[in-house]
Amino acid sequence: MVKKQIKRALISVYHKERLDLIIKKLHDEGVSFLSTGGTKTFIESQGIPCEAVEELTTYPSILGGRVKTLHPKVFGGILARRDVEKDAEQLTEYQIPEIDLVIVDLYPFEATVAAGADEKNVIEKIDIGGISLIRAAAKNYKDVVILASQDQYMPFLELINQNGAETTLEERRWFAKEAFAVTSHYDSAIFNYFDGEDASAFRFTANGSKPLRYGENPHQKGYFFGQFNEMFEQLHGKEISYNNLLDIDAAVNLINDFEDITFAILKHNNACGLASRDELKTAWKDALAGDPVSAYGGVLITNAIVDKDTAEEINKLFFEVIIAPDYDLDALELLTQKKNRIILVLENTKVPQKQFRSVLNGVLVQERDTYQETGEELKTVTEKEPDEDEIDDLLFANKIVKHSKSNAIVLAKDKQLIASGVGQTSRVDALKQAIEKAKSFDFDLQGAVMASDAFFPFNDCVEIAAEAGITAIIQPGGSVRDTDSIEMANQKGVSMVTTGIRHFKH
């Protein structure tokens, strides 16, 4: 396997952590250095000589630093093909030194935008020289090594510690691939900034590729692209699967809507048990009571620290994943008794405000449904008004139905999910499913409330619910037959409120 020797390196970076180790090792291997500004000062502070780019180009940094490395003597040294005779002749003719290694990072464009900087400052963080150096070096990977971000420091350091200042074609191609990942992500961020709300094109990149055991089914390949560790710390358990990730996503979005101490159990992205209580152990027991059958093998999530008493109860159930903001040590000792049980700490609840999915030969993009109704927004449309406790339950049920697959109906009582009907092709079927399920677990529906994710096209759901004992209903309204449903509610002595907001989830 033919290896190429690194003889000269161009380095110009902001992130210098562990860079000293690379520089010292390369210096020991006889590599010379070319640099600019602060990086040159940093290299020289290590007691290592470094030539200034200005000495090579005979031009100073100009235009407020906008032009430093954009010069034929720099780019010629990077792009010259070592096996092309004409290129070699021109290097000699124009006194251009070969550059075998480029270590460059980019101005922090995304961080500047995220910090709320004005457009003038944002524009100045669009890197020109750096990204051009990266692309040039990556293009000429047959002869040049490129490190385009701090993420490549450690792989490169391990490489040169093992092999000295030599690299194979395969190794250089890997670094080139990583470099183009950096530049494509950077350009996508810049485009999205300029495109704003126009949505003229879809550009999205995600780092951190992770192969999964399989996709939804064992015969499908699956991958996760994203920074899972920025949201979670995994304390225990097996490798997280494709389906686990879907349930975890649904669980986090659901729990984000609750402020009271709440425990939820999810199965196939839907809540099968959920309760809000003054203390966690009771919340768990009441969540489990909602559907102890479906809870088996589910995903559990709470917005409170898991204590030992609660953990003792949870430990009686087989489940795949548990998510909480933290765990008491004695609780963790109990929960880690099962080898494969996935235990996650939710460290960051912030999720992207845009959602997308592939469909046909394109992509669907929408804003995330983060709307939460308040008691003041509810419009009573019936003769009977809901009392205070019913309003609390209506808002509680509405949060759950918002995160349930359409068509969806949720039945709740005393801030406990009694039953739900999800993913049905008719709203009547969803309601009948919920009522049958509630009765199968011996729940008394008298005084319970009902939430619907969309309006009632006919009055049949209101009639069925009232006959089952439902006393209050929350729904978006907006049907041409709203008056039929309202009249039925009045006839049955049921209160009904509308929100004006539909919460379909397909």
Active site residues: 139, 268
Closest by Cα among 223, 198, 221, 219 to 209: 223
| CB of 494 closer than 8 Å to CB of 465 | yes
d(CA 276, CA 60): 66
d(CA 403, CA 453): 9
State phi, psi for 390 to the nearest 5 degrees.
-65, -40
CB atoms within 10 A of CB 353: 8
Structure tokens at 197: 């709300």
| Sequence-distant (≥ 6) Cβ neighbours of residue 345 within 8 angstroms | 232, 233, 235, 323, 324, 325, 326, 327
d(CA 404, CA 252): 13
Closest by Cα among 454, 458, 462, 465 to 411: 465
Specify the 3-state DSSP secondary structure of 475: strand
| Sequence-distant (≥ 6) Cβ neighbours of residue 229 within 8 angstroms | none
| CB of 504 closer than 8 Å to CB of 475 | no
- The radius of gyration of the chain from alpha carbons, rounded to an integer in Å, stands at 30
State phi, psi for 310 to the nearest 5 degrees.
-65, -40
* Residues in the chain, total: 506
Closest by Cα among 328, 312, 349, 344 to 238: 344
| CB of 307 closer than 8 Å to CB of 315 | no
d(CA 54, CA 172): 28
d(CA 419, CA 272): 7
CA 456, 459, 460, 461 dihedral sign is positive
Structure tokens at 227: 């920074």
| Sequence-distant (≥ 6) Cβ neighbours of residue 286 within 8 angstroms | 263, 275, 277, 416
Residue carrying structure tokens 């049920």:
397
Specify the 3-state DSSP secondary structure of 500: coil
Residues facing 264 on adjacent strands = 274, 301
**Helices 169-195 & 153-163, crossing angle to 10 degrees?**
170
Residue 170, burial from CB neighbour count under 10 angstroms (0-12, 13-18, 19+):
exposed
